[in-house]
Amino acid sequence: MAGTVTPQLEAYYAKRAREYERIYDKAERQDELAWLRDRLPGLFQGRRVLEVACGTGYWTQLIARKAAHVTACDINEAVLEIAREKPIPKGRVTFAKADAFAPGGLCEGCDAAFAGFWWSHVRKADLARWLASMASALPAGSLVAILDNRYVEGSSTPVSRRDAEGNTYQVRELLSGETHEVLKNFPTAAELADAVRPIAAQAHLEETLYYWLLVFRLK
Ligand SMILES: C[S@@+](CC[C@H](N)C(=O)[O-])C[C@H]1O[C@@H](n2cnc3c(N)ncnc32)[C@H](O)[C@@H]1O
């Protein structure tokens, strides 16, 4: 495939790189974030993990505390630069610039995958292709955990429009005042179950007020 399917998203996150982690400072989300910071690393105990769209490495550094190794990828050098500055034991994480839609060959020997706040940015029409690409990059039985946002009135950025396919969008403002329209979907539990059915066994969804965490094994 020439180029990626997410050029506007890439540009937005390149510009947002240095201010990205402010999202983890929202006061009302602190209890749930603390729970996730505790919950996620344990899932990957001793595993070799492929992380797609790793961003600034916020979750990478935590997963790396328990995992045997993490190969953490993102399309943007600007966020990878920040991720590489995280206090991570030497040799535990390999950062790579790579498209989440083409993870094949990135992670020899991996038996797990993680994607944080990435699903919501994938167009509904592209979800099956993304999930299939991940399934084909890892052996059957691999553990997959996907974490993302639920929409919460008054805390989430309002949805500004919905397109003909049912994808929803937000208008986001950077500290510079520049605004970007960003695709951000908030799938229902039924939509999540339907989407992963072709590749997943033992799927289990945990929902809190602000987040959802879907964990399954690859068929
Ligand atoms: C919402 S951020 C999530 C970052 C990180 N996973 C976290 O939870 O903090 C989405 C990330 O997707 C990255 N991205 C956008 N398009 C991508 C693509 N096609 N392949 C891989 N990463 C992509 C952006 O650079 C950005 O870092």
pLDDT in tens, the chain (219 residues): 445 678 899 999 999 999 999 999 999 999 999 999 999 999 999 999 999 999 999 999 999 999 999 999 999 999 999 999 999 999 999 999 999 999 989 988 999 999 999 999 999 999 999 999 999 999 999 999 999 999 999 999 999 999 999 999 999 999 999 999 999 999 999 999 999 999 999 999 999 999 999 999 999
pTM > 0.95: yes or no: yes
Whole-angstrom distance, CA of residue 79 vs CA of residue 97: 10
Is the minimum distance from the CB of 148 to ligand 1 under 6 angstroms?
no
- Assign 153 to helix, strand or coil: coil
Q: How far is the CA of 120 from the centre of ligand 1 (A)?
A: 10
Q: Which CATH superfamily is domain 7-153+188-218 in?
A: Vaccinia Virus protein VP39 (3.40.50.150)
**Sign of torsion over alpha carbons 147, 72, 15, 169:** negative
> DSSP state, 28?
G
For residue 118, report the distance from its CA to the centre of ligand 1, in Å. Answer: 6
List the end-to-end C-alpha distance of the chain, in Å, as a whole number.
26
Please indicate whether residue 58, judged by its CB atom, sits closer than 6 Å to ligand 1. yes
Domain ranges of the chain: 7-153+188-218
State which amino acid sits at residue 109. G
User: How many Cα atoms within 13 Å fall on the side-chain side of residue 35?
Assistant: 13
- The answer, yes or no, to whether any atom of ligand 1 lies below 6 A from the CB of 10, is yes
Q: What is the token pair recorded at 92?
A: 């535990």
